[in-house]
Amino acid sequence: MSEISEPGRAADAARERPEGRDPWAPPGSAGDPWAPPGQAAGPQHAHPGGPQPYSEAPPLGGGQPYHGAAQGGPYAHPAAAWGWPVQPEPPRRVAAPAGTRYHEQSRNGRQRVWHRLGEFALVTGLFMVAMVLLVGIGMAVGQALGFDPAPEDGSDRLLADPLADQALALTGLAIGIPAVLLAVLWCGRRPPGTVVSVVGRMRWRWLGLCAAVAFPVMAAQMGVLVLWEWLEAGDEVFEGDVPGMTRLLVGLALFAALVPFQAAAEEFVFRGWLVQFFGGFLRSPWPGLCVASVLFALAHGFGGWSGFFLLLYSALWWGWLVLRTGGLEAVIAMHTANNVLSFGLALALGQLADSGTAADAPWQALVVELVSAPVFCLVVDRMARARGIASRRPADPAGAPPEVPPEPQPSGLPGPGTGLPA
């Protein structure tokens, strides 16, 4: 067979490729017949200071990175190359519209009946399961550290040492915080920070200011109550097994570390999540507040009518304050001050084992609470108005996830933020 000459090979190669195409040119380059429509024809040569064709990364010190499908980058959605519309993925978390009040934060247009039922079941289930696990682990750790189980004398204590038992109880109640936040995130499909406030986060400076008011008010309230009881019972008020300095300091440190989480957990559940749960389908916040207040009082047990009404009365005032300030910071501060000072005083007097709960409060405590609760709430409300604390969700809360428009509602049905049941 005869050999083909070099000119013959060149002629055959020219016939096998489109005219003007460089076989070594990258796809989409100048002169490429398969280049996307609209690309400028003709040779494109890189030059200093100009764009670098086909570079997958911008040069150091300049250039713009690729932004994906939204801007037609090289990694755009395949449908975008043909001019087809690309449907963006729906956001996983949607906040309530701007202007909604605290109890309306679950009105994000993403909840249905099964979501609300699942949220309720998840909060209850997570709390109960975590409580059982924590009690079991706490008992095992307590016995390993030398703490004996509580005697079977009809009390609800688990450990014989009252300080260790109280620390275990406070830790168990703090589980309410992750239970609520996870339920709101998974089933509520909204930012979990909306349980804390209308801006979607904890307002730490505002929390500190409320604590600066709560502790003096609570200290004065407890001072009046102790004085009243001393005038009636005499020195019996101060009788108890006074602890040593080391045990006192350890106990105060434990209360300072654990009580804020326990108090916050109770507020997350009763003044936060429950109120927003009912606010998702009820126009007024007061049905949810009343139900949550009754449950809050019952959750402390039923020791007497005076203790029950004290808890109910306080809960209603605190719920009003949450609506006025658009968040839980003020009531978390007051709840923390109440429990830290109460536990600290009981420990210092050696009465921690007999302190009970607020459900066992005498009628004198109810009388004092009738004055102190509105005083604290009205003072804090005035502070909030003077400092411009938001009571409604702003358009773009600082530090919160950006607001996403809710799903369109069917015609004839009220949407979120309208003030009507959804």
For residue 418, tell me if it sits in a domain.
Answer: no
3-state helix, strand, coil in the chain (%, to 5): 55, 0, 40
Average pLDDT value for residue range 196-219: 97
HEC-encoded secondary structure of 61-91: CCCCCCCHHHHCCCCCCHHHHCCCCCCCCCC
Report d(CA 266, CA 24) in Å as an integer.
71
78 has a pLDDT exceeding 80: no
pLDDT at 356: 74
Predicted pLDDT of residue 58: 46
Share of the chain above pLDDT 90, in %: 53
Instruction: Pick 400 or 146 by higher pLDDT.
Output: 146
Q: Which residue has the tokens 């890189």?
A: 46
125: domain range? 102-387
pLDDT for position 383: 98
Q: Examine residue 10 and state whether it is found in any structural domain, yes or no.
A: no
pLDDT-based confidence at residue 27 (cuts at 50, 70, 90): low
Helix (H, G, I), strand (E, B) or coil at 101: strand
pLDDT at 57 (0 to 100):
46
> For 115, how many CA atoms within 13 A lie in the half-sphere containing its CB?
17
All residues at 6 or more sequence positions from 154 whose CB lies less than 8 Å from its CB, including other chains: none
Is residue 87 assigned to a domain? no
Q: CB within 8 A of 234, min separation 6: which ones?
A: none
Does residue 20 carry a pLDDT above 60? no
Residues paired with 327 in a beta bridge = 197
Instruction: Specify if 37 maps to a domain.
Output: no
Q: How far is residue 180 from each of residues 94, 166, 265, measured CA to CA in Å?
A: 17, 23, 9
Indicate whether 373 belongs to any domain: yes
Q: What pLDDT, on the 0 to 100 scale, is given for residue 95?
A: 87
Q: Provide the mean pLDDT of the chain.
A: 81
Section 102-130 average pLDDT: 88
Tokens of residue 38, six digits: 């609209």
Q: Is residue 180 in some structural domain?
A: yes
Which DSSP symbol is given to 9? H
DSSP 166-200: HHHHHHHHTTHHHHHHHHHHHTS-S-GGGGTBTTS
Once rounded to an integer, what is the mean pLDDT over residues 69-83? 53
Q: 336-393: per-residue pLDDT in tens? A: 999 999 999 999 999 888 767 888 899 999 999 999 999 999 999 999 999 999 999 9
Contacts for 413 with CB less than 8 Å, ≥ 6 apart? 422
- Residue 392 neighbours by CB under 8 Å, 6+ apart: 98, 99, 100, 101, 198, 326
| Confidence band for 421, pLDDT divided at 50, 70 and 90 | very low
What pLDDT is attached to residue 303? 82
What's the pLDDT score for residue 13? 52
Task: From residue 287, give the alpha-carbon distance in Å to each of 183, 279, 292, 293.
Answer: 22, 9, 9, 10
Digit-coded pLDDT (tens) for 299-350: 998 888 999 999 999 999 999 999 999 999 999 999 999 999 999 999 999 9
Please report where in the chains the tokens 């449908």 appear, as a residue.
Answer: 79
- Whether the per-residue pLDDT at 396 is higher than 80: the answer is no
The model's pLDDT over 232-282, given as tens digits with 9 standing for 90+, comes to: 888 888 888 888 899 999 999 999 999 999 999 999 999 999 999 999 999
Tally the residues of the chain.
422
Question: pLDDT tens digit string along 36-50?
Answer: 554 544 444 444 544
Instruction: Return d(Cα 29, Cα 8) in angstroms, integer.
Output: 28
| H or E stretch covering 155 | none
Tokens of 126: 């997570």
Of 53-67, 131-145, 220-234, 339-353, the poorest mean pLDDT is in 53-67
- Helix orientation angle between 305-325 and 286-299, rounded to the nearest 10 degrees: 140
In this prediction the pTM is: 0.74
> Is the alpha carbon torsion for 390, 394, 398, 403 positive or negative?
positive
How far apart CA 88 and CA 407 sit, in angstroms, is 13
pLDDT in tens, 173-193: 999 999 999 999 999 889 999
Cβ–Cβ under 8 Å, residues 270 and 315: yes
pLDDT given for residue 118 in this prediction: 87
Helix and strand counts by DSSP (H, E) for the chain: 12, 0
- Report if residue 238 sits inside a domain: yes
- Answer whether residue 392 is part of any domain: no
Token pair for residue 312? 């109910």
Contact criterion met (CB below 8 Å) for 348 and 226 = no
Taking Cα atoms as reference points, which of 233, 236, 299 lies closest to residue 265?
299
Who has greater pLDDT, 84 or 400? 84
Per the structure, the count of domains in the chain is 1
> Which of 10-24, 54-68, 153-167 has the largest mean confidence?
153-167
* 10-14, 114-118, 238-242: range with lowest mean pLDDT: 10-14
Token pair recorded at residue 353: 């084992």
Q: How far is CA 70 from CA 58, 150, 406, in A?
A: 18, 64, 21
Q: How far is CA 338 from CA 18, 67, 76, 176, 253, in A?
A: 86, 53, 58, 19, 16
